[in-house]
Amino acid sequence: MDFTKPETVFKLENIRNELVKMEDSIIFQFIERSHFPTNHNVYIANNEKLPLGKFDGSFLDWALMHLEITESQLRRFESPDETPFFPDKILDSILPSINYPQILAPSTESVNYNNKIKNMYIKEIVPLVSKYDGDDANNYGSVAMTDIQCLQSLSRRIHFGRFVAESKFRSDVELYTTLIKNKDVDGIMEHITNSAVEEKILQRLTTKAEVYGVDPTNKDSERKITPEYLVKIYKEFVIPMTKEVEVEYLLKRLD
């Protein structure tokens, strides 16, 4: 998939390959997060244990914002598949723009689920993948950086629903135009849902978790992530939120 060549972006095989690669990244980042406790202090806004001056937010928010400011100057958010958590803070790149062609609808920038993704990650995923429920002040920085990697990968995967939606729209413009004009949310959801594909994703995740989640050289080693938890994360959060992104994108597709 090459974003400078739109014809490569909407090939279903290319989209599928990208989604499979994202699974591997997300799994290994969850495994990395499993080395640390929950560390709730990292997520508490205006926490006296982690004073951040006049900054209004959590330690994770502060770290993520500053990292995105730097990454924006390195051209990260010019890429059509990247969505910032702090879009009002990013700066112009110091590198020359690549000038990507317009691939998605102009309204795509307004489809930003990152706040919802962050809340879901903290409340639902962190308790599942952490080593234990507790606090370790020595690892606040490591936890925040690992969380950022998890969040950015989840964001890219979930917002990739915009490309999936655009591909589906182009495959049947007449059908989707009618559904969009009628604001038929249920109809759109019905047509973008492919239960067989979703089941294959869950089966593939189960296999990957069984292989990646334990040291293959030591059968007695502690499992870092269980297939049950990984399937739960995708089935209850990642896939449904991706479809929410698809629906919102399509509802705005004709704007």
Share of the chain above pLDDT 90, in %: 74
For 191, other C-beta atoms within 10 Å of its C-beta total 15
Instruction: Reply yes or no on whether the pLDDT at 95 is more than 90.
Output: yes
Mean pLDDT of 220-224: 66
User: Active-site residues: which are they?
Assistant: 16, 157, 168, 194, 198, 242, 246
Average pLDDT over every residue of 12-25: 89
Q: For residue 52, give Cα distances in angstroms to 41, 43, 56, 84.
A: 13, 13, 8, 21
d(CA 158, CA 241): 7
Question: Residue 218: pLDDT band by 50, 70, 90 thresholds?
Answer: low
